[in-house]
Structure 1
Amino acid sequence: MDYKVVLITGGSSGIGKSIGTYLTAKGLKVYGTTRNKDKYPDFNAFSLLTLDVKQPQSIQKAVDAVLKKEGRLDVLINNAGVGITGPIEETPHEEILNVFDTNFNGPVHMIKSVLPQMRKQGGGLIINITSIAGYMGLPYRGFYSASKGALNVLTEALRMETKDFGVRIVNVAPGDFATNIAAGRYHAPVKEDSPYNLPYSKTLQSIDDHVDSGGDPMEVAKAVYRVMQSKNPKPHRPVGAFLQKFSLTLKKILPDKVYERLLLNHYKL
């Protein structure tokens, strides 16, 4: 299929902006989205629409605007997401609901809104930006891992359900990249009297250090473009440093307790 019109959620910064900028340079018509377009008055990398993935009415309004202008929608890139850290026992329930509403329910709402059009036009591509963290339970990032892991599994199911419509669904799973995600991440407070105080503090610093020293998000943009160029893309495409991608191979071949020990050693827990 010759992809021409692309919609990217969370397109105003970070990985989403890198993807949009790269695809625009490749000649595609790109629409990015953000919850508050007024915050980006000078944004000119590509077209920017207002959209909140937690509000189905907002989603439909943005999708309808693209279809009214372009008459088609070839690629949806579910990139909008939020980070969260904290001990599972001490993370406020409202924050758990928020991360799932954004990282899982949001993409589901988006997918539901575009599938009728993709069926009508005889095909399309949906790329879910998940995370390497979604393939394993990471300490003090359990809810983030779980939200991305849920989207991973949903993608596998959806591929089989949509195979007769010419719609392709793919997970692109980044590792650590230098973006502003840490600034917007919810951190459960480090409590002085908490039994998790020391290990959580150490892990929190390690997480931030990995993001700060992460790779160029343009690598994710290039991976997305390669998926778009593939006639039969695989369900999962991890993107990141060699050791991050290799960790997925190790998880498949090592006994569970051995792999768990590797993670504990990595985080010095």
Structure 2
Amino acid sequence: MRKLINRLLGGRQAMQGKAIVPQVAAAPRVPEANHFDIGLKDAGYDGWYRVDSGELYEGFAIRAEDVVVDVGCGDGGCALFCANRGAHVIVADIDAAKVAATTQRLSGTPAREVQGVVSDANPLLLPDGVASKIISMEVLEHVDDPAQFLRELVRIGKPGAQYLLTVPDPVAEQLQVGLAPEVYFQKPNHVRIIQRDQFEQLVADAGLVIERHSYYGFYWSLWWLFFWVCKVDLADPQHPLLNSWTRTWEALLGSPQGSLVRQRMNALMPKCQAIVARKP
């Protein structure tokens, strides 16, 4: 730090009879970083995308005999994992373009069958008891009526069906207030911040039995805070601050006690919370 301060100030030297003008050196260029690759690696430590065990998330295994419904599929990352396991995959989203793109993305996979449904989930255009695995990631914070939305998810599940539900964690969300653009907390984006106990209550009230409630993604909590102030394009988020943070986290993941630090930070300020639940 001392060397950095000296460099930024150009090594001030008093010169008799002359004004002292600090010479500010150019900030060192931080190499570009692949933020999303590091984020994916971090997710693996948190229990995501376990190819060897077939678990999309720890405790949520996908098998070829499963019928999986991904509600709010977005770009289809989770659906792709399930398709590669040979499952029958149904992707649903309010955005017709995303449904079309995701079904096309899955068309060359080992999936038994791929279907696309354009729906706002009020109601879901699917029959009762169709699915053995239901996924809904980062959707509840968007919908007008979370209880109604969950009822639809429960309706389409078979008895014994398993659910993977995620929402942003309230700690990270609250920190973004005043930093994120106002539209971040406006419809059709995040219209509510879901507290941890509230999330559990919503799931239990829908008639599901909670098997696991976990927290992950501290890396992304800070990344997004930095992203808002860097004002760069999300398609190519290269900035010295973001790159430094990603390189720091990458170094931590490779350090002897990195796992312990990561677990502690996930408990303190996770980006997301996840519930794995089952329909009785």
TM range (shorter): 0.3 to 0.5
Choose between structure 1 and 2: higher helix proportion: 1
**TM-score, normalised via structure 2 length:** 0.44
Choose between structure 1 and 2: higher strand proportion: 2
**The structure with more radius of gyration:** 2
